[in-house]
Every structure is written in structure tokens, then in C-alpha cells.
Amino acid sequence: MPPSLAQHGAAIAFLHTAALHIETFERLRDEIAPGLRLTHVVREDLLAATEKAGGITPAVSLRTQEALLALAEGGARVVVCTCSTLGAEAEKAAGEAEVPVMRIDRPMADRAVRQARRIGICAALAPTLQPTRALLESSAARAGRDVELREFLFDDVWPAFRAGRLDDYHAGIAARLGEAAAHVDLLVLAQASMAPAARLAGALAAPVLSSPRIGFTEAARIAGAVSREAAHHLPH
């Protein structure tokens, strides 16, 4: 059990596959729910193993669910997996946990299928495309919506992310969003790490949704820190 959970209890416990997400969600907490106690566990090995295998293996699935369930047992009110590639494992773990376990991108997907029919999935890592497509399809089925999905892979920018050159990573994504937006009604950024690219892209032919803010707001609502009405009126 993570010491911060065992000693203090956290309202939201995050499982990340990159340390950069800690700052992102701490900043969102300060903006949306000041004082809310968070804890973070970083497991870069889970995404690295998925990249190496070209997809989620049974071993990675098991290790991801074990990590999420360990957080759920630590006293958090809600557990959040911020890695879209591993998001389905969070929803599998939810069935075994006594507290809500969610994937960061489910609220984004639910919003996307309510707002548009032709949706573009933008990803910088190939193994993220299939889980995000499956996520959107399931959100559409739940909502009774008919959607048309198109995929846009920007994998040439992923080495910049891996090297820690985040400015290059986000600029590379932003440069590609305009072309993608011309073919759909709405774009979703499949990975939380892509979110800053939307601001860099400027005006586009289609709106862009990313998961961090939308997902954090929903997690804070589940944790009791934000009312449903307040969450609805927060910036997207």
C-alpha cells in the first residue's frame, strides 16, 4: 500500500504510466477542488511492456489490475487510471473493488458521443488506438448513439515524448490536428499527455476534447468534492 494512502487517506488515487501526469492533475486539483487530497503511483513499466508487446498482454493486464486494486484498498474514495492504453483494465478492476475505479478517458468518450457523430481519434502511440476505439464504441452503445470513427496516428512524435522533449511532442501533435479536424465533426485526443497540443493548435474546423480536465472533474464529483451542477458548469 502506498505510504501516503496508508498514513493519511486520499480522496483520489491515481495510477500513471508517466510521471509528468502528476503535475497535470495537481494543477487541475488546485483549480477545480483546492485542498482535495491526491496520491500518485507511477508505473512506467506497464506501458513499456505494452509498447514492447504491441498490445496488452495477460501479464500486463493482471499487473495493472493488481496495482489499481492495491490503491482501492488504501482508503481512497475513487481510483483513476490515467493511461488510455490501459484504461480497459481499470474498468475490469472496478468489478473487484469496493470503491469506484475509473479510466480517465471514459467521461471524455461519453461527452464525445453526445456531441458528434463523426469522431476522429488522435493518438501518438499505436497501441492506444484500439482501446480508445473500443471505449468510444461502448460509450456510443450505452448512449444509443450511432457514431462513425476515424483514426489518426501521430507516432512520429512519440520519440520526443519518450526523450522528455515535451514542447516538440506537443508542437508536433498540434501541427497535425488541423488536417485531422477537416475530416470529422469532433476530435478526441486519446492520450492524456496530448492535451496541451489542443491549445497550441489554435482555431480548428472541429472542436477537440482531451481527457485530463473532463476526467478529473468527474473523479472529483465522485469523491464528493464537486457537485454535479458545478461540474457541469466548469470549463471543458
In the predicted structure, residue 142 carries a pLDDT above the cut 50: yes
d(CA 236, CA 226): 15
More confident residue, 232 or 108: 108
The pLDDT of 75-98, averaged and rounded, is: 94
- 3-104+213-233 is classed CATH 3.30.1130.10: no
pTM of the predicted model as reported, rounded to 2 decimal places: 0.89
pLDDT for res 10: 80
Please state at what angle helix 211-222 crosses helix 106-115, rounded to 10 degrees: 110
pLDDT of residue 8: 44
Rounded Cα gap, residues 234 and 214, in angstroms: 9
Query: Residue range 131-138: average pLDDT?
Result: 96
pLDDT of amino acid 231: 61
What average pLDDT does the chain have?
92
Same fold for the domain at 3-104+213-233 and the one at 106-210?
yes
Question: What was the pLDDT predicted at 232?
Answer: 59
Closest CA to 106 of 143, 150, 51, 74: 143
**Structural domain spans, the chain:** 3-104+213-233, 106-210
Q: Determine the pLDDT at residue 5.
A: 37
Given pLDDT bands bounded at 50, 70 and 90, which one contains residue 235? low
Which pLDDT belongs to residue 4?
A: 38
Quickly state the pLDDT bin for 34 (edges 50, 70, 90). Answer: very high
d(CA 125, CA 127): 6
The verdict on domain 106-210 having CATH code 3.40.50.1860 is: yes
> What one-character-per-residue DSSP string does the chain give?
--HHHHHH--SEEEEESSTHHHHHHHHHHHHHSTT--EEEEE-HHHHHHHHHHTS--HHHHHHHHHHHHHHHTTT-SEEEE--GGGHHHHHHHHTT-SS-EEETTHHHHHHHHHH-SEEEEEESSGGGHHHHHHHHHHHHHHHT---EEEEEE-GGGHHHHHTT-HHHHHHHHHHHHHHHHTTSSEEEESSGGGTHHHHHH-S-SS-EE-HHHHHHHHHHHHTTSS-HHHHHHS--
